[in-house]
Structure 1
Amino acid sequence: MDRQLFHTELEIANIVTRLHSVLMTIPDIGSTNDGMILGEIGEIHCFSAPGKLLAFAGLDPFVYQSGNFQAKKTCMSKQGSCMLRYALMNAAHNAVKNNTTFKAFYDAKRAEGR
Structure 2
Amino acid sequence: MKDSAQNSFGISINSDVFKMQIHLLFEQISLFEKQLIEIETMMIELSNRQEHFLTTISGISDVTAAVILGEIGSISRFERPGQLLAFAGLDASVHQSGDFTGSNTKLSKRGSPYLRRAIWQAAFGASFHAPALSLYYQKLRDRGKAHGTAVGAVARKLTHIIFAILRDEKPYQPRIIKEENN
**TM-score bin (small chain):** 0.7 to 0.9
Among 69, 94, 103, the alignment partner of 2:125 is: 94
- Per the alignment, residue 49 of structure 2 pairs with 18
Q: Tell me how far 1:100 sits from its aligned partner.
A: 4.5
- Per the alignment, residue 71 of structure 1 pairs with 102
Taking only aligned residues, the RMSD between alpha carbons, in angstroms, comes to 1.8
Q: TM-score, normalised on structure 1?
A: 0.87
Question: What is the correspondence of 1:52-67 to structure 2 with a 5 Å cutoff?
Answer: 52-67=83-98
Do the aligned partners of 2:92 and 2:106 also contact (CA within 8 Å) in 1?
A: yes
Among 71, 77, 88, the alignment partner of 1:46 is: 77
Q: Percent identical across equivalent pairs?
A: 39
User: Partner amino acid for 1:52?
Assistant: Q
The 2-side partners of 1:71 and 1:77 are apart by 14
* Structure 1, unaligned runs of 5 or more: none
Find the structure with the greater CA-based Rg: 2
* Structure 2, unaligned runs of 5 or more: 1-30, 150-182
Indicate whether 1:31 and 2:62 are aligned.
yes
Among 127, 136, 146, the alignment partner of 1:105 is: 136
Provide closer, same or farther for how the CA distance between residues 52 and 100 of structure 1 changes in structure 2, counting only shifts above 3 A: closer
SS of the equivalent of 1:96 reads: helix
